[in-house]
Amino acid sequence: MKEMELKYGCNPNQKPSRVFMENSSELPVTVLNGRPGYINLLDALNGWQLVKELREASGLAAAASFKHVSPAGAAVGRPLTEVLKKIYWVDDLGELSPLASAYARARGADRMSSFGDFISLSDVCDVDTAKLIKREVSDGVIAPGYEPEALEMLKGKKNGSYNVLQIDSSYVPEAIERKQVFGVTFEQGRNELKIDKELLANIVTENKELSEDARLDLMIALITLKYTQSNSVCYAKDGQAIGIGAGQQSRVHCTRLAGQKADNWFLRQAPQVLALPFLDSIKRADRDNAIDVYIGEEYMDVLADGAWEKVFREKPPIFNREEKRAWLDKLQNVSLGSDAFFPFGDNIERAHKSGVAYIAQPGGSVRDDNVIEVCNKYNMVMAFTGIRLFHH
């Protein structure tokens, strides 16, 4: 098939809409179920590139959770701790396959943003992963293949309308890519930059001890940024992104946004949160929302309104600012990637509050000396990659 007609474009008023190949090639995507839309396919194709590169760089199964052409989460298939199983709502599923673990991590990094996501998988979708996908709210999935039982399970989702796409893993796009804006055609060479450990060789700080775990996390952060709408910053730890700040005009706003998401990810693991007495009838999405409210500054207002009775069996104790700060101080050895240079040391100050110990960024700012100085103050390790990763 060289062409696929779509229901509409980005919005219902944008018709007609289709995807097609300009040359004689077949589309690299086969629809096994459902009817994907314009944004679904943008998410699917960006997500597939991300997980394919994560797989190649790490040697591990990889997954991504995409929303509106930026990842909400990305991860490789490292085993989950008991705490992570609990905060990702998979503690009832037993031991997960590496691919399912990767998606649990990708989905769990920022569960609010991942609600209604498009899923990308690096490997053939197995039954473990399909079981996890089936229970979450999402628009569709793209993978290089599906186990028969997994495919049948996914086809039954959303009353049979769930989008299941199969990508031709051998497909190689043309070296030149084009798009139109306002009737004007833009053309550029594809970003074929390979992100690997060699990209992290130029360490410019006094501390030059970059652990293997940190190298993996920095690669995950950089590959994630390669497919995130710019400006963007990504915090990563233990084989997964834990906070992604996308599409901000200011670098420090990216750092703050991603840092807040990383903080929320870690606060979900605090004993006060793990012990929340949810009503048995509360669904996972409502629990996620309630947790975000509980760890937020507005929880005092919610308690005053008595809204807790709709979610909890009993009134939970206040998780105050001092307690949250004390818990966040335990977050350590976080890695941070940036798609362009840090222009000021305030970015590093903010990153330090979220446990960042390792940084990869292009370098090249007139204030590089100031940024390095702040890193040295906190004994951080920072590598200059020399490569910008803007994506639009």
pLDDT in tens, 42-53: 999 999 999 999
Q: Which residue has the higher pLDDT, 247 or 297?
A: 247
Residues 376, 240 share a domain: yes
| SS3 at position 146 | strand
Same domain, 240 and 183: yes
Domain boundaries, position 131: 3-172
Q: Round to whole Å and give the CA distance between 54 and 74.
A: 9
Choose the final residue of a domain: 142, 172, 202: 172
- Considering the domain architecture, whether residues 191 and 54 belong to the same structural domain is answered as no
189, pLDDT greater than 70 = yes
* pLDDT tens, position by position, 122-173: 999 999 999 999 999 999 999 999 999 999 999 999 999 999 999 999 999 9
Asked whether residue 323 is domain-assigned, the answer is: no
The Cβ-side half-sphere exposure at 298, using a 13 Å CA radius, reads 8
Last residue of a domain, one of 172, 188, 209: 172
Whole-number percent of the chain with pLDDT over 70: 99
Regarding whether 80 and 156 lie in a shared domain, the answer is: yes
Q: Is residue 225 one of the residues assigned to a domain?
A: yes
pLDDT digits (tens, 9 = 90+) for 108-117: 999 999 999 9
**Alpha carbons 210 and 199: distance in angstroms, whole number:** 13
pLDDT in tens, 33-44: 999 999 999 999
Residue identified by tokens 């000396």 is 369
What is the mean pLDDT of the segment spanning 252-274?
96
How many domains are there within the chain?
A: 3
Q: Are residues 301 and 245 in the same domain?
A: no
Query: Are residue 298 and residue 353 in the same domain, yes or no?
Result: no
- In whole angstroms, how large is the CA radius of gyration of the chain? 21
Domain annotation covers residue 210: yes
Average pLDDT in the chain: 94
Question: Which is nearest to 220 in space by CA: 375, 67, 360?
Answer: 360
Residue 197 lies in a domain: yes
Task: Report, as residue numbers or ranges, the catalytic residues.
Answer: 67-68, 231, 392
- Predicted confidence (pLDDT) per residue in 2-16, tens digit: 899 998 999 999 999
Residue 108 lies in a domain: yes
If asked whether residues 102 and 226 sit together in one domain, one would say no
Tell me what pLDDT residue 208 has: 97
pTM: 0.96
| pLDDT exceeds 90 at position 297 | no
Residues 94 and 231 occupy one common structural domain: no
Tokens read off for 301: 């207002």
* pLDDT tens track for 324-373: 999 999 999 999 999 999 999 999 999 999 999 999 999 999 999 999 99
Question: Which whole number is the average pLDDT over 183-195?
Answer: 94
**Domain contains 94:** yes
In terms of domains, do 25 and 161 share one?
yes
Cα separation of 251 and 289, whole Å? 28
Domain identity same for 373 and 244: yes
pLDDT at 300: 67
The domain boundary residue, chosen from 143, 172, 201? 172
- Asked whether residue 392 is assigned to any structural domain, the reply reads no
Shared-domain flag, residues 348 and 259:
yes
Tell me the mean pLDDT in the region 258-280: 96
3-state SS class at 11: coil
What CATH code is carried by the domain that includes residue 13?
A: 3.40.140.20
The pLDDT value given to residue 311: 87
Closest CA to 362 of 192, 194, 191, 204: 204
Q: Please compute the mean of the pLDDT values over residues 310-328 and round it to a whole number.
A: 91
Question: Which pLDDT does position 303 carry in this prediction?
Answer: 65
390 in a structural domain = no
pLDDT at 304: 64
Do 90 and 227 fall within a single domain?
Answer: no
Give yes or no for a contact between 83 and 254, defined as CB atoms under 8 angstroms apart.
Answer: no
Cα–Cα–Cα angle for 83, 71, 132, rounded to 5 degrees: 45
